[in-house]
Amino acid sequence: MLSKLKSLSPNLSALLEIGILFLPSIPAYLWIWPNVKGIHWWVTQSLVYLYVLGGTLWIGLRRWNWAQLGIKRQGLGLGLACGVALVVGRTLVILSIDWELPLPPFSLARILWEVVFYFGFVAFTEELLFRGLVYHLLDEWKGYRWAIWGSAIGFGLWHVFGQGLLVGLAMVLYGMIFALARWRTGGILGLVLAHGLIDFLAAQMLPTMDVADLGRPGISCAICMLLGLTLIVITPIYFWKLHPILERKITGLTNKGAH
């Protein structure tokens, strides 16, 4: 099979290898995840992310270098700015809801572990896979529009099987925003930090990360909800339309100042 993959274009063969990489997820979702709880869940999740990270590196670095996969300082500030906007927006949404469940008890050991888990395992692996490898191969193969939508849909599917359709649709939106940031910035390091911060803060503010256990909580602050959703929606509009306009104006003012 590997010899046949080598005869294909690097982009198509990489995409097929990514599909093969995720084949074990089918029995995992059917048999493993429904029966894993507590500390076993954390251990299993960590092993899964190590497996996906190893596969992503093996597929990507055989064809492209680190910089092509987005591991460079370019766009670090803009990626972080994108993350700050999403963090503020999502925080407002979370705070606007009355969850009617107790928050997880404070534990320094738990917080330190979750910093490692959400930044080192979740954020780095998912960004390298979707905004690094998948984005780059689709951009090089079919263009940036395919890269943005393809990586966003893939990111949504990554979440939908484990967390449900609603979360999957929300992650398509987040994936599109992060892909637009990748398009404008060229790098993913800022997105890794932003992604880790979003997930880590959500874990501290939500009573549980399992959406099914949250039930149907009520909205306690409609204004906060509206402001948060507005900020989340404005972020992709900025990257798609407003950023190039602002960049041209700044460049024009710089050129005038030089003369």
pLDDT at 175: 94
| pLDDT tens digits, 185-213 | 889 999 999 999 999 988 888 766 666 66
The parts of the chain modelled with pLDDT lower than 70 are: 1-7, 30, 33-34, 162, 207-216, 247-259
pLDDT at 259: 55
Specify burial of residue 16 (Cβ count, 10 A radius: 0-12, 13-18, 19+): middle
pLDDT at 219: 83
Question: CA 121, 126, 131, 133 torsion: positive or negative?
Answer: positive
How far is it, in rounded angstroms, from Cα 94 to Cα 204? 11
pLDDT at 119: 95
C-beta neighbour count of 192 within 10 angstroms:
27
Dig out the tokens for 3 from the structure: 């010899």
Q: Tokens 């987040």 appear where?
A: 174
Give the residue from 89, 164, 157 showing the smallest Cα distance to 129: 157
